Amino acid sequence: MEREGPLLSSEEVESPINRVVFKIQKSVSMAISQARQRIVQGFVVFSVTFFLLWIAAFLYGSFYYSYMPKAAYSTPVDYYYRTDCELPGSFKCSHPVANISLMKNKKHVLTFGQSYRLSLQLEMPESPVNQEIGMFMVKATCFSQDGGQVASSARALSASSSHFGMLRYRSDLVKTLETVLLFPAFMTATAEQKQVLEVELFSEYTDDPYAPSDTAIIEIMSNKVQIYSSRLVINAHFTGLRYLLFNFPLISAVVGVSTNFIFLSALFVLSYLRQVLKLRQKPEELTPISPQAMTQRTML
């Protein structure tokens, strides 16, 4: 029988296995470190992006609420009758008058430079008096804080008008049929025989920044008109950028936040590159100068 070759020792057999295990451990540790590094980098990028996006949204929101005035404002109108007159039956002292404040929370309702539409809504019963009263005047006057008259408006109106100054004509047969059909609603007070009239006081009213309007006086120039309730409605008439912001809020928000985000990102990238360049230049400035270089500089 032939002799067998020399047997390998246990150390010689284990050394290749240890090398393989060591390589595997090294590759695993490198993969774990790279994964950790990528996770940290991703978290930093996500945090910076979220922070810049939040700042961009905050800037757009601050601009929107500071630049955009209130689109609509409504307040009830309470009338009183003048009694400070010589003759008790005087027409000037008997018509309804209302004093309305144009301030809310110590702030002006009207924004300077913005045009508004002021209208008066009158809830009036379909009574024979209002049917026969004919035309009457509704006058509105705005006053500043010092009592000076800012603007005045007067509109002619029929007592039975909803939009064009006249009540909707309905024949006696239609009224009778309506009364019969809606009799249960009339009896339970869930419906009333009334109409809402809207009077446009100012079509494009712009407040004066040097003499802003604080109060408005509304006078109904009739001593026979019958009114259930009344409200002053103020609607802003937007143009230009305000028109786009109000009528297309979602598109405007996306464009505004995106613009702010791009601008902030550019500033952040530029500042980051500047800091990196500074860090790269500092080691070169701090490198020690050899004595030979010093002697060459002194000789020069």
Which residues does residue 141 pair with via DSSP β-bridges, in sequence order? 152, 217
pLDDT value at 241 more than 50:
yes
Q: Is 117 helix (H, G, I), strand (E, B) or coil?
A: strand
How crowded is the C-beta side of 267, counted as CA atoms within 13 Å?
A: 9
pLDDT in tens, 146-189: 766 666 666 554 433 233 345 566 677 877 887 788 878 777 77
Model-level pTM greater than 0.85? no
pLDDT in tens, 67-107: 988 888 999 998 887 666 555 555 556 688 888 888 888 88
State the DSSP string of 39-65.
HHHHHHHHHHHHHHHHHHHHHHHHHHH
Kindly calculate the radius of gyration of the chain based on its CA atoms and give it in whole angstroms. Answer: 41
**Among 130, 142, 134, 267, which residue's Cα sits nearest to residue 193?**
130
The terminus-to-terminus CA distance of the chain in angstroms comes to: 89
User: C-alpha dihedral over 4, 5, 11, 14, to 10 degrees?
Assistant: -80
Laid out side by side, the sheet with 96-101 consists of: 80-81, 96-101, 213-221, 135-144, 149-158
pLDDT in tens, 135-156: 778 888 888 877 666 666 665 5
Q: What is the DSSP letter of 209?
A: S
Cα distance between residue 80 and residue 94, in whole Å: 9
- Per the model's pLDDT, the better-predicted residue between 153 and 273 turns out to be 273
State the DSSP string of 210-266.
SS-EEEEEEEEE-SS---SEEEEEEEE---THHHHHHH-HHHHHHHHHHHHHHHHHH
Q: State the burial class of residue 227 (Cβ atoms within 10 Å of its Cβ: 0-12, 13-18, 19+).
A: middle
Which residues does residue 158 pair with via DSSP β-bridges, in sequence order? 135
pLDDT in tens, 46-74: 888 899 999 999 999 999 998 988 888 99
